Amino acid sequence: MFDADGDEITEAIGNGSKGKAIVGSYDWTFKNKKGTSASLGKLVITDLVEYASAGGDLADDEDVL
């Protein structure tokens, strides 16, 4: 994710942050089923509210996956 200046955001994004998104859709077929799903092209955070935990540390991406 990036800020309005194009710089990458490395902080954890908290509730109340605002942004703009470029979204689209795509059609899919899988096992004789068809559908349309959303896709995110780009997300720009325009007003960052940094995440502040009530306690404990943030999980690393590797820990979550």
Question: What confidence tens digit (pLDDT) does each residue in 14-56 have?
Answer: 999 999 999 999 999 999 999 999 999 988 999 999 888 776 5
Residue 1 has pLDDT above 90, yes or no: no
| Residues 6+ away with beta carbon under 8 Å from 1 | 8, 9, 13, 19, 43, 44, 45
The pTM of this model reads 0.60
